Chain A
Amino acid sequence: MGTMTIAKGINNGLRAAMERDPKVVLMGEDIGKLGGVFRVTDGLQKDFGEDRVIDTPLAEAGIVGTAIGMALRGYRPVVEIQFDGFIYPAFDHIVSQVAKMRARSLGKIKLPMVIRIPVGGGIGAVEHHSESNEAYFAHTAGLKVVCCSNAEDAYWMIQQAIESDDPVLFYEPKRRYWDKGEVDESAAPRPLLKAQVVREGTDATLVAYGPMVKTCLQAAEAAAAEGKNLEVIDLRTLSPLDLDTVAASVEKTGRTIVVHEASTFLGLGAEVAAALQQRCFYHLEAPVLRVGGYNLPYPPSKLEEEFLPDLDRVLDAVDRSLAF
C-alpha cells in the first residue's frame, strides 16, 4: 500500500508487467533516457535496456506499424503516443491492421498490444495537445478502449491491458497525471472491463471517465451541500461499455448525465444515452443529458476553460435533469 501519482501508478504497472513477462517491450518517442514527456516511463530503459524500452524515430505510423510486426513475432508491445493529437498518422494501422488482423486470419493469430495515449485538455497547451479522440477507436470493432481516472486503476489497468490478448487503447488523463491516490499493490484488482460506482447516491447518476471523474466527484460534493445526493460512475472501459453497471444505477436514480471532454456530437455519451433509453425506458424520470466539449476544433488554451465541462456545467445539467 502506498500513495502515488497516476503517472507513477502507470510506471509501476509497466515495471511489474515487464518483470513478469520478458516479451513486454515499450516503444515510443522520447520514452528512454527522458522517460517520456510526462515521465511515465521514467527509469525503465535504465533498468530493462534499450532493446525493451525502444526510443523510436518520430513517425507514429512507424511506431504502431512496427509494433504490429513485433506482436506478430510473439512480443507484447506497449506503444506510447506522445499526445492524443499525434495519433492520427497511425490511424490507418490501428483501424485497418490492428483492429482487423485477427478477423482476417479467422482467429489464427492475435495481436496483443497496448497503445497508450495521454488524453484531454486543461494543461494550457498548443494545438493538437488536448484532444479527446476515444470515440474514433471505440467505434472500431476489434479494438478495446479503456481509460483510467485514478492511481490505483492506473497501476492495475495498464497491467491488465498488457495481459489482454486483444489490442487495447489505453487512455491516460493527462491533466490528472500528478493527482495522488492510494494503491494497494497486493490487493486483487477490479476486472478491466467493468465500470465502477465511485460514489453512491440516489437522486441522479453522473457517468464519466478519465479526467471528468474527478470533476463529477467534485460536483457531487457541491450538490451534497445543497441536499442533492448524486451517484458517480467511472466507466473505466469505453469499448466494450459496461452498461449493466450504468443501467443498474439509472434504474435506481431515474436520471442520468453523461460527462466527457470530447465533443458531445457522436461521442460516447450518445451511445450511453441511446442504450439507456432502450434498456431503462420506464425507469427514466428525465431525458439522458450530456455535458461535453462543443462540436468544434479544440480552442486555443485561453478558451479551454470555456470549452471543457466543469463543475458548474455539470451542476447546471443536474438541475435541469432534476427539474424535468
Chain B
Amino acid sequence: MSDNAVASTGEKAGTTPHEEEVLAELTAPVPEVGDGGPEMVQLLTPEGQRVENVEYDEYVKDLSDEDLRGFYRDLVLIRRVDAEATALQRQGELGIWASLLGQEAAQVGSGRAMRPQDYAFPTYREHGVAWCRGVDPLNLLGLFRGVNHGGWDPNEKNFHLYTIVIGAQTLHATGYAMGIQRDGDVGTGDQDRDAAVIAYFGDGATAQGDVNESFVYAAVNNAPVVFFCQNNQWAISEPNERQTRIPLYQRARGFGFPGVRVDGNDVLAVYAVTQQALNAARSGNGPTFIEAYTYRMGAHTTSDDPTKYRVSAEVEVWKHRDPIERLKSYLVHTQKADQDFFDAVEAEGDELAVTVREGCLNMADPTPDSMFDHIYVEEHPVVEAERKEFAAYHAGFEGEGSH
C-alpha cells in the first residue's frame, strides 16, 4: 500500500475530528507560495506567453519550431516514464523511486543545452537529464529495482552514475572539470572540442560541506563547471528556510562567480540560462551557479509522505505553473504544433511506458556470485577466497530435496 494512502485514509480512520479542527482547516489562509521574485529569469509565463528578455532572448532565437516540439516531446515522455516507474514501485516491482514530477523543464532545458562532449554529474533524480543524454530509462530502473547500483558506463553518454550521498558529485564534477582544463579542452574556440561539466544537486544539498567546497575549488581553479541547483522547495520534509537565509543563487557571489535564478518550470528560460553558463564555462570564464526555481510535485521518494509536512494548497498553486502545460499553451497559440502532434506524443508515451514496464519485469536478477565481481580491477585474494567459499557453501546443498 502506498504511504500516501496510509496517510490520507489511515490517520483519521475511526476518529471524528473536532468541529473546530475542520473549521480551522477550511478557513486556514493559503500559505505564501514564493514565485521566484523579479530577478527570476522567465521567457514563458505560466500561461505560455512569451516574455521578452534582452539578455537571454539570443540563446533561444535559433530554436526552430521542431526544436520546441522536441522539448515538449522530452517533457511528456520523461513524465510518462516517471509515472510508469512510480506505478511499478506501487506494484512491488521497484524497491523505491525518486520521482521528478514537476521538475521536467529544469532537467530537459539544461540537458538539451549540453553538447555531446559536455559531462553531467547527476543526483538520483535526474531522469530527464539522463533522457536528454540518451541513457536508456531501464538503466535507471535497475538501481531502484535493486539489481545493481547503477551499472551503466558513464563515458558512453557522458552521464555519470547516480550519486546518492547528497552533494558528493559536485566535487567529482569539479575535479572532472579540472581535468578538462588540463586536457586543454577549454577556450580553444572549437565548438566540438571545448567542454564543460554540469553538476546537479538540490536545495537540500546546498547545506552540505561538499557543495560549498566544490564552489571554492571551482572558483580558485576557474573550472569549467556549471552548478545546477534544482530548488524544488523541499529537502524531504524541510522547507527552504531550514537550509538558507538568502536566496540560493545569491550565495554564488560570495564564492566569486555569478549566480542566476531561473524559472525552473520554463523550459525555454532554463535552456537559455544554461546555454549562457555552459558557453562561459567552455570558453574559459569559469563556473556559474544556476538556481532553477521549481517544485517537487510528488513525494521525495515513494517512501515519503508529504501530507505530513506540507499543505495541499501549496501544491495547488504550483499546479498552475506546470512546465508541460505552459509549453503546450505556447505551442498552440503560436500555432507551432497541432493536435495531431500532441496526440502522436501521447501515443509515443504510452508505447514507451509499455517498453519500460516490460523491460523492468524482464530484468534479470543478478546471479548470486556476481556480488564478488568488480570490487577491484586487479585480482584480490580476499575477494577470490570468499567467492570460492561462497560457491563451496552453496554447492554443499546441491541435490538436497531431490531424495
Contacts and interface: CB of A to CB of B under 8 A. Distances in A.
A62 B217 contact: yes
Given A72-B176, A165-B378, A66 B171 contact: yes
A102 B149 contact: no
A166 B160 contact: no
Contact of A107 (B155, B165, B374, B378): B374
Nearest to A111: B377
Interface string B149-181: 111111100001101010010111111111111
Contacts of B383: 141
Given A97-B165, A144-B376, A68 B171 contact: yes
B375 A105 contact: no
Nearest to A69: B175
A199 to B, nearest CB: 25
B308 interface: no
A66 B174 contact: yes
Interface stretch (B75-83, B206-214, B270-278): B206-214
Interface in A216-254: 239-241
A106 B375 contact: no
B315 to A, nearest CB: 33
Contact of A164 (B375, B378, B381): B378
A68 B177 CA distance: 11
Contact of A69 (B148, B149, B179, B209): B179
A92 B209 CA distance: 11
A73 B195 CA distance: 12
A61 B172 contact: no
Interface string A75-92: 101000000000001001
A105 B151 contact: yes
B171 A62 contact: yes
A93 B376 CA distance: 17
A96 interface: yes
A47 interface: no
A118 interface: no
Name the residue in B155, B175, B213 with the highest tally of chain A Cβ atoms < 10 Å from its Cβ. B175
Interface of A: 25, 51-52, 56-57, 59, 61-62, 65-75, 77, 89, 92-93, 96-97, 100-110, 141-142, 144, 164-166, 239-241
B374 A65 contact: no
Contacts of A102: 374-377
A25 to B, nearest CB: 7
B155 A104 contact: no
A90 to B, nearest CB: 10
Contact of A61 (B154, B160, B213, B373): B213
14 contacts: A56-B217, A59-B217, A62-B171, A65-B171, A66-B174, A73-B183, A77-B175, A93-B171, A97-B165, A97-B168, A97-B172, A104-B149, A105-B154, A108-B154
B132 to A, nearest CB: 20
Interface in B175-229: 175-183, 209-210, 213-214, 216-217, 220
Contacts of A240: 380-382
A241 B173 CA distance: 34
Contacts of B376: 102, 142, 144, 166
Contacts of A75: 179, 182
8 closest residue pairs by CB, A with B: A69-B175, A65-B171, A73-B179, A66-B175, A107-B374, A62-B213, A69-B176, A165-B377
Contact of A59 (B160, B216, B373): B216
Given A102-B374, A109-B155, 20 more contacts: A57-B217, A59-B216, A62-B217, A65-B170, A66-B175, A69-B174, A77-B175, A89-B209, A92-B168, A93-B171, A97-B163, A97-B168, A103-B149, A105-B150, A106-B148, A108-B152, A109-B153, A141-B375, A141-B383, A240-B380
Interface in B279-305: none
A21 to B, nearest CB: 13
Nearest to A22: B182
B151 A106 contact: yes
B184 to A, nearest CB: 10
Interface centre among A68, A69, A109, A239 (most CB of B within 10 A): A69
Contacts of B375: 102-103, 141-142
Contacts of A69: 171-179
Contacts of A165: 377-378
A65 B175 contact: yes
A92 B165 contact: yes
A89 B182 CA distance: 26
A141 to B, nearest CB: 6
Contacts of A56: 217
Contacts of B179: 69-70, 72-75
Contacts of A100: 149
